[in-house]
Homo-oligomer: A and B are copies of this chain.
Amino acid sequence: MAKKQLPKPTDAELEILQILWQNGASTVKTVNEILNEKKEVGYTTTLKFMQIMNEKGLVQRNEDERSHIYSAAINQNDIQKVLLDKLLETAFSGSAANLVMQALGNSNTSKDDLKKIRDYLNKLEKGE
């Protein structure tokens, strides 16, 4: 499949995408309320972002209703890949192993998650 180049979202855009991924399609009002749980941000600010994101193709919106309903237009996994690759290059000199170990060390990953990762490792080693 031809890989379409993904626009790298800015920090603010990513916050909004996050909300849309988590909550599904939402109005500006809803997104703004969720954003405001963390930090104060004006309604029109959020609106403007979402309009820009719409132009960029990061989100799409349904305009049937008076208050438009926005949803993410790009896949969370794809963006994760873009950002992860970039971080890998710019901060970890391309060493995925280092990145992984840092990630595991920094966060308190649960036993369950550790097991999941181990299983995944097994699959990887078998598969290749």
Contact = CB atoms under 8 A, between A and B. Distances in A.
Nearest to A18: B90
B97 A109 contact: yes
A93 interface: yes
Interface residues of A, number: 44
Contact of A96 (B87, B103, B118): B103
A120 B15 CA distance: 32
Interface string A94-128: 01111111111111010101101110110011000
A114 B120 CA distance: 11
A72 to B, nearest CB: 12
Interface of A: 11, 14-15, 18, 21-22, 76-77, 79-81, 83-85, 87-88, 90-93, 95-107, 109, 111, 113-114, 116-118, 120-121, 124-125
